[in-house]
Structure 1
């Protein structure tokens, strides 16, 4: 575990060099520096005479204390390496300045980059400016619905790697995915709350969360996690269930224990788009979560909607959502997505439309092939339950699976099942989920509407 107390002085800054020829992605502003791309670290005094032009060598330094150890090895407490959350300058192997970021020695994603000009500092004013820009960016597509939901900050896409902020009515759900941001969380909360108010969406409650996988990967101690969670302003556990408007429906989500930030705002427009195909059809919604696709289909005039999820808690909320919206043409079954489809095929069931919105199958590059096999199996099982002319809405939220790979997976499904698959729509996330071209992983969501012949 690492300490999150900033030990950095105003007169010194760490410089870390990349290994030979490992710096090219960062010249294109990719914000992730993995541990295996780094060579060695140098603690360098910052003086008014220090070079400031991009690309100038910073390797000559008589005040530096340099270690030839890889920048992944030492305990930051002994000052042989930076502590978590410290500001570092990233140099190429020859000592040319590339970018500035924050380091977490406990994480495989060792450095997150935020500044690509040597004159730009990582300070409170930078966070305030970027948060204001991010919230204002959401207003480009129209005014906000104060009772609705939207993504205000999307990590790398808004030049704030490690920070995700969603708004549900008057509640902010803040998800920290980068441990190096923890010492700055209070500043981030203050600036996001102020920016939301300036843009006519004042928020009264704040939830700060970090999921279990992030806690493990970022090396966050139980004590630090407790301190982070203490910044939450929800009054009680019951207060974590929040109602907001979603495509004309009243929807509840669980801010405290729900998936991601509590809900899936990225699918908001896809819920509505898929519903336009569902009138008078018998619909199966696999991985329904709190019922986004299922309830939209039910309201659009589906004859019957069967919604399936493995989580009892999610289904309880989905049932409440159906009752709140007086939708009686939907029922909820608990089960595993693969097992449920298999059992329905064995019973000879058929549906006019099937929606597949599984969780992420690939969290890293080396899981991509296994993920594609899982998608193939899932989609092939769904195709087995569709008659000619049936509608398949299939989704992937795995950023490591490209759109081209996902479509090729559907080609494989058609070949295996001897069916033609005609794409009616190839969709992405709602426009509040912007993506940065320098970080293709941020273009993660695929939602493909297919007619199966």
Structure 2
């Protein structure tokens, strides 16, 4: 006879249409009938519907509005045994590559854990209290599984504040890791893995860098929001006629210049607000324009302003394209879904009087998996358009 579980549980309020009832991995504080004491923060807790039926095992944190995050549809503990199994399974699902995402939070049944690999260095993010508390176990598991030269714990994401966590960055070895050259898809990039944006490089756009490079052959290209130059460098490597990379960050444009020199590629670079630049140089023409801005909407309150921003960017870019030109436009705003983004680009094309053919709908790569029941994990979307 099985022993009855002694694990703590929480229950949904009555008469709710909570998304968790349809398979979403989150439950919100406002949806819970009675909270557990603060002493259970960071622990494994089961969730029940209003009739007491089991909905899954999750990590609990009453400091966060997202009070419960499912990691298993079975009774389970978020402990070293579970972490060992889940991290091993996550790594096994990836095609071995020198630089890639190895763990992607809820999409890999590890809510709040993100692990990126840059050659022999691993970058770990802990975005939930439960993951933060398991740091030692995670370090041991990753060391045993992958034998990295070092692990950088990038515990500096602002979202940690919502979990009641402090911000800090350190390495497993205790050693300082200076900026280093890392080869990604045949190109050298100088990456700051300790203080650079996110975990040092936008790994989620690697496939698009390669895809756009093929389309850029013999073309004049504008790389908007160029960051470290991934789109432009791959395009020049693929024999683009010319590339102009624009970014508002002086550090980013300086990095593009350094990366171009290292790879013996000739790229023009300008430091400017792209919105202002597009207005000032509206009469310039290109065969290919890439728009890959940072997130414009991190929550629902920002959606309207974000859509206006996307509309203006795409409208101005479309007007600058030569007949037969290509626009590759992307959004990483989690709060804006693919349908809304497509609609705003359609509206921009109509206002620009530039009929377009959709060459491709794009999304994030396989190492950033998308959970069917969690739309928030489908954050990256894009369109490649041919313009008449």
Judge same fold: TM > 0.5, yes or no: yes
1:408 to 337, 340, 343: 343
Deviation at 1:211, TM superposition (A): 3.4
Q: Would you say the 8 A contact 1:168–1:242 is kept in 2?
A: no
In 1, the alpha carbon distance for the partners of 2:306 and 2:30 equals 24
Partner of 1:95: 52
1:352 to 264, 287, 295: 287
Deviation at 1:232, TM superposition (A): 4.0
Q: Would you say the 8 A contact 1:14–1:82 is kept in 2?
A: no
2:175 to 235, 260, 268: 235
What's the CA shift string for 1:103-140, capped at 9, x where partnerless? 2222222222112212x33221111001000000003x
What's the CA shift string for 1:47-91, capped at 9, x where partnerless? xxxxxxxxxxxxxxxxxxxxxxxxxxxxxxxxx434431222222
Task: Extract unaligned runs of 5+ from structure 1.
Answer: 1-10, 43-79
What's the CA shift string for 1:232-254, capped at 9, x where partnerless? 43622xx2423322221122221
Q: Would you say the 8 A contact 1:423–1:448 is kept in 2?
A: yes
Query: Judging changes above 3 Å, is the alpha-carbon distance between structure 1 residues 307 and 252 closer, same or farther for their aligned structure 2 residues?
Result: same
Partner of 1:6: none
In 2, the alpha carbon distance for the partners of 1:21 and 1:332 equals 57
Structure label with greater radius of gyration: 1
Question: If the length of structure 1 is used for normalisation, what is the TM-score?
Answer: 0.80
Partner of 1:251: 189
In 2, the alpha carbon distance for the partners of 1:415 and 1:314 equals 33
Query: Judging changes above 3 Å, is the alpha-carbon distance between structure 1 residues 28 and 128 closer, same or farther for their aligned structure 2 residues?
Result: farther
Deviation at 1:316, TM superposition (A): 2.4
1:433 to 368, 371, 378: 368
* Corresponding position: 1:280 with 2:218: yes
In 1, the alpha carbon distance for the partners of 2:332 and 2:338 equals 10
Partner of 2:121: 171
In 2, the alpha carbon distance for the partners of 1:246 and 1:117 equals 39
Question: If the length of structure 2 is used for normalisation, what is the TM-score?
Answer: 0.93
In 2, the alpha carbon distance for the partners of 1:246 and 1:18 equals 46
Partner of 1:369: 304
Q: Following superposition, which runs of at least 4 residues in structure 1 exceed 4 angstroms of deviation?
A: none
> Per the alignment, in what secondary structure is the counterpart of residue 302 of structure 1?
coil
> Per the alignment, in what secondary structure is the counterpart of residue 389 of structure 1?
strand
* Corresponding position: 1:205 with 2:150: yes
Q: Would you say the 8 A contact 1:82–1:103 is kept in 2?
A: no
In 1, the alpha carbon distance for the partners of 2:38 and 2:13 equals 17
In 2, the alpha carbon distance for the partners of 1:12 and 1:337 equals 57
Count of equivalent residues = 384
In 2, the alpha carbon distance for the partners of 1:430 and 1:188 equals 24
> Per the alignment, in what secondary structure is the counterpart of residue 41 of structure 1?
coil
What's the CA shift string for 1:137-164, capped at 9, x where partnerless? 003xxxx24xx31110011111111111
1:379 to 309, 314, 320: 314
Is the deviation greater in 286-295 or in 365-374?
A: 365-374
In 1, the alpha carbon distance for the partners of 2:281 and 2:207 equals 29
Query: Judging changes above 3 Å, is the alpha-carbon distance between structure 1 residues 278 and 288 closer, same or farther for their aligned structure 2 residues?
Result: same
Partner of 1:38: 32
1:333 to 270, 274, 278: 270
Partner of 1:7: none
Query: Judging changes above 3 Å, is the alpha-carbon distance between structure 1 residues 240 and 173 closer, same or farther for their aligned structure 2 residues?
Result: farther
Deviation at 1:98, TM superposition (A): 1.8
Q: Would you say the 8 A contact 2:223–2:291 is kept in 1?
A: yes
What's the CA shift string for 1:18-53, capped at 9, x where partnerless? 2224375324432222222222035xxxxxxxxxxx
Partner of 1:130: 86
Task: Extract unaligned runs of 5+ from structure 2.
Answer: none
In 2, the alpha carbon distance for the partners of 1:193 and 1:218 equals 26
Deviation at 1:13, TM superposition (A): 4.2
> Per the alignment, in what secondary structure is the counterpart of residue 352 of structure 1?
strand
* Corresponding position: 1:297 with 2:232: no
> Per the alignment, in what secondary structure is the counterpart of residue 33 of structure 1?
strand
